[in-house]
Structure 1
Amino acid sequence: MASNHEEVKLFGIVGSPFVTRVDIALNLKGVQYKLEEEKMGNFSDTLIKYNPVYKKVPVLVHNEKPISESLVILEYIDETWKQNPILPSDPYKRALARFWSKFIDDKCLNAARKVAFSLDEKEREEGYKELEVAFQFLENELKDKFFGGEEIGLVDITGVFIAFWVPILQEVIGLKLFTIEKFPKLYKWSHDFTNHQIVKEKLPNRETQLAFFKARYESLVASQ
């Protein structure tokens, strides 16, 4: 455990799914930390000093040592604070958890970006199909209440984007993709996950996020 919260700092933006992942993991471990809020498009010199390669959030700074990239940070948190493990102890299950976390970033996030922010209708349609296929893979993979079993783990935390942000984007665009009819297990998972006490405490305000994406989508449509 961190003896005082000055030792652990998280540089991030409220409303970033990647930062929210780290927030959830630290909360799960009971680690006290200080959130250093950054401004979108106007990052501090400190952040750029800590993450000169990608120049983006989140960055976790533990005892003055910076770690970047949310999935790398999640593993670091799990190895540093042993309580409430995020990754399974079995090597095969660990490998699988890493595989599905990477799958969410590679397949779901990229497809969702196309659906939500592409000006090209063909590309949006392509993104929709990719997302549908990706969700079906996750639906088939989900065996328990959570991807981590009875408790939340790495894949669940990585999937916060699907559980919390996809329904918001869907509402903004008027999409009917992520529904209980199409993906019953994944849909139920999203509700169980976002209502989990550890997760709920760290999710950004839904109305604020909805307003933000509405404005962004409307300006996108207006620019066509």
Structure 2
Amino acid sequence: MSVALAASTPWDELWPLVRPALGETLTMVVVSTAITGLLGLLLGVALHVTGRDGLRPLPAVGAVLSLVVGVGRSVPFIVLLAAIIPFTRLVVGTSLGTRAVIVPLVVGMTPFYARVVEQSLREVPRELLEMARAIGATRAQVVRKVLLPEAAPGLVGGLTITLVAIVGFSAMAGTVGGGGLGALAITYGYNRYDGTVMLATVVLLVVIVQLFQLVGDAVARGLTHR
């Protein structure tokens, strides 16, 4: 981003500046949400299955998983960004840029989504699970063919909430060299007092959130059986 700026960037010069930042933000959000969705789903299912009323109660395992999720949800994201820099470098080879931000985004949001998954699975009527077990379904089949399909609207709704949070955290990561619209807003909008750039980044972030929210709500409604 080497475009020369005055106190306020002319609108006709704004898009070449905003476009790469928008691409970086979308990359961070989409990749982070996909990985978080997969890991959070697996962790949430494990939490539910090993819980006291789960398909395979394992109190010790459930307690450990619950502790991990609880601790993970308690750490502020800005602190997490700094705390796992060595791990981030180990995974992607750097602590700066779009790829580097994906690591803390996944680490920070997976526990959040795992808890959402667990709560959604708890809302599935137990009678359905007992009926499936009564006709000979294995635990894995109950999870795949009963639990997950019945909880699908809640899972999608929870993933949409998670995605919206990831958008906000990706913008926050711009303050520490994370790239994207957050970095653009800080570097040019705030530090250079450029109101045009600041306005453009805010509007784009709002539009991104609203579009993802609309799509997520539509998918959740389409999956609702009731």
TM-score range, shorter chain: under 0.3
> What is the TM-score with the length of structure 1 in the denominator?
0.28
Kindly name which structure, 1 or 2, has the bigger radius of gyration based on alpha carbons: 2
More strand, by proportion:
1
Larger relative CO (CA 8 A, sep 6+): 1 or 2?
2
